[in-house]
Amino acid sequence: MNFSERFSLNFIEKSRYKYLLDGITNTLLITIVAAAIGILLGFIIAVIRATHDRTGKLKLLDLICRLYLTVIRGTPTTVQLLIVYFVIFSSVSRPMLSAFIAFGLNSAAYVAEIVRSGIMSIDTGQMEAGRSLGLGYWQTMGYVIIPQAFKNVLPALTNEFIVLLKETSICIAISLRDLTYGTQLISSQTYDYMFPLLAGAAIYLVIVILLTFLFGKLERRLRQNER
């Protein structure tokens, strides 16, 4: 078989490319939803932890957050995914929902620590300036501290979301038809591993390059204010 015959067998015949298309859709959907959950929850945890670090308040919430971070970061993502799918949703098969939740909660832990370090890197004079104008603590957080912290940690966040995207490939463990599983479905019909896998790898790569480009653009846009 020559190249074009193999290509046709793996991707054209019986519209097998659809396995890849559906896979891309699911992979991106999981990444986006998980990132959204991760950002929302991660920022909340970061602000709670940073507030505790700086003021000594919110002791109980901080303790809960620390416990959460320890558990999430101390266990493998695959195990977390399996627990959500097989234990929490044991009676119903909800692979997509399980992936949203597992990856979202997982990402939140990493986002939280990135954002917290960003908040802690902002000079205390910024909080004092906001407060001395009569702004409340949370107002100053929202209008003064977080925007600066976000800008500072954007590269680290980009990195986290790239890791997240690639890590969704473990969805194969719960037979969720993501991009990686799509390549395996094709292989199981064509008995060809190389073509589908290389295609899958190339697609991941292109998405990562695109993501990097977009975040880089956003970062430059935010930074151009400064000089």
Partner 1 sequence: MSGKKEKQLGEVLIDVKGLCKDFGDNQVLRGITTQIRKGEVVAIIGPSGCGKSTFLRSLNLLEVPTGGQIFFEGVDITNKTVDVDKMRQKIGMVFQQFNLFPHLTVKKNIMLAPVKLKLMTKEQASRRADELLERVGLPDKAHAYPAMLSGGQKQRIAIARAMAMNPDVMLFDEPTSALDPEMVGEVLEIMKELAETGMTMVVVTHEMGFAREVATRAIFIDEGVIKEENAPEIFFSEQKDQRLKDFLSKVL
Instruction: By CB under 8 A, tell whether 218 contacts partner 1.
Output: no
Asked whether position 129 contacts partner 1 by CB under 8 A, the answer is yes
> Pick from 144, 154, 199, 207: which binds partner 1 (CB under 8 A)?
144
| x/- map, 46-85, partner 1, by CB under 8 A | ----------------------------------------
Q: Could you say whether residue 131 binds partner 1 (CB under 8 A)?
A: yes
CA atoms within 13 A on the CB side of 193: 0
Q: Which amino acid is at 28?
A: L
Assess 189 for contact with partner 1 (CB under 8 A).
no
Task: Choose between 28 and 122: whose C-beta lies nearer to partner 1.
Answer: 122
Residue 4 sits in the site that holds partner 1 (CB under 8 A)? no
Taking Cα atoms as reference points, which of 101, 118, 122, 120 lies closest to residue 41? 101
Shorter beta-carbon distance to partner 1: residue 8 or 55 = 55
Q: Rounded to the nearest whole angstrom, what is the least distance from the CB of residue 118 to partner 1 in the complex?
A: 13
Stretch that binds partner 1, among 36-44, 59-67, 118-126, 170-178 (CB under 8 A): 118-126
Write out the residues near partner 1 by the rule CB under 8 A. Answer: 123, 125-126, 128-136, 139, 143-144, 147-148, 151, 225-227
